[in-house]
Amino acid sequence: MATDTPSPPVLCLNGDLVPEAEATLSPFDHGVTVGDGVFETLRTFGPQIFAWSRHHDRLSHSATVMGLMPVGSDVLRGWAERVVQANKHPHSRVRVTLTGGPSAPSTARSGSAVTVLITATPLQPPLAETKVITVPWTRNERSALAGLKTTSYGENVRALTRAHEHGATEALFANTNDQLCEGTGTNIFLVRDSALYTPPLTSGCLAGVTRALVIELAEQEGIQVHQDPLRFTALEEAEEAFLTSTTRSVQGIRQVNERLLPTCNGEITRTLSAAFARLVEHDLDP
């Protein structure tokens, strides 16, 4: 009689599908030694990858600016789909990482080919609402890495650990001008007088795929969107706010530090959340 044993998880390493337990990466990979890499986190709805083209564009941009050879969309997408299909999760978090490849253990690259790593792990539904904290550390809008999605995420790890210690799921940064910037893995929107306010890309935040889609949806819904610099304290004083990201979609903020917001998941947030859900239903590569 056939047994229903789940197959062991697999990943894609440089184009080869390999069991996770057997995958090996050089200890001298520049991604491991100095965080020299770029990445994307995508999600699937069922077996289908969402917003592939936008994520691939951003990955290619990050790679090009970092001087890493980008990988073509069709090839990379084919590899990502094979990983998703092989792992058979109801919904997956798909992580695509490109690193500088094996190099001498110093900051200089040795000119090797990039390492390409793709994983698909189970994705749980996001919480309907959440608590965030603010952190005293800044995003540097003039950094060589500003606006790039690189694997140098040590600052994010530290800030998110602090968030978890405070019972929150996200930590928000100001930039060096004390303007509201972004979270460790999210963009931030404030709702005021039925209009939306979100930091401009010049604040140093990542050009989030979800951020861009929410702005487009808001405009279609007739909601005004302001992308002007905001004081960091605007978040602490906000009436209503939400986070956006690939894994959270549109997530209402209930609490900022010790302060409960007067409104969480109010009409504007709900309208955008519903518009996002409709978008996913009719277009998986918007």
Contact positions vs ligand PLP (CB under 6 A):
41, 182, 185-187, 206, 208-211, 244-246
State how far the Cα of 102 lies from the Cα of 174, in Å rounded to an integer: 35
Q: How many CA within 13 A on the CB side of residue 117?
A: 20
SS3 111: coil
Q: How many residues comprise the chain?
A: 286
State how far the Cα of 277 lies from the Cα of 128, in Å rounded to an integer: 14
Q: What minimum distance in Å lies between the beta carbon of 148 and ligand PLP? A: 10
Contact residues for 86 (Cβ-Cβ < 8 A; gap 6+): 7, 10, 17, 120
Q: What minimum distance in Å lies between the beta carbon of 149 and ligand PLP? A: 6
SS3 260: strand
SS3 183: strand
Q: What minimum distance in Å lies between the beta carbon of 206 and ligand PLP? A: 4
Q: Which is nearer to ligand PLP, 26 or 247 (CB)?
A: 247
Q: What minimum distance in Å lies between the beta carbon of 189 and ligand PLP? A: 12
Q: Which is nearer to ligand PLP, 147 or 266 (CB)?
A: 147
Please give the structure tokens belonging to residue 32. Answer: 């491991």
Q: Which is nearer to ligand PLP, 14 or 155 (CB)?
A: 155
Q: What minimum distance in Å lies between the beta carbon of 211 and ligand PLP? A: 6
Cα distances (Å, whole numbers) of residue 276 to 177, 185, 280, 285 = 32, 19, 6, 13
Q: Which is nearer to ligand PLP, 126 or 266 (CB)?
A: 126
Q: Which is nearer to ligand PLP, 42 or 116 (CB)?
A: 42
CA angle 176, 58, 28 (to 5 degrees): 85
Q: What minimum distance in Å lies between the beta carbon of 248 and ligand PLP? A: 8
Nearest to 69 by CA among 115, 3, 12, 25: 115
Q: What minimum distance in Å lies between the beta carbon of 153 and ligand PLP? A: 8
Helical packing angle, 52-66 and 209-220, nearest 10°: 130
The residue sitting closest to ligand PLP, measured at its beta carbon, is 208
In the block, which residue shows the tokens 């277009």? 283
Q: Which is nearer to ligand PLP, 10 or 49 (CB)?
A: 49
Q: Which is nearer to ligand PLP, 157 or 260 (CB)?
A: 157
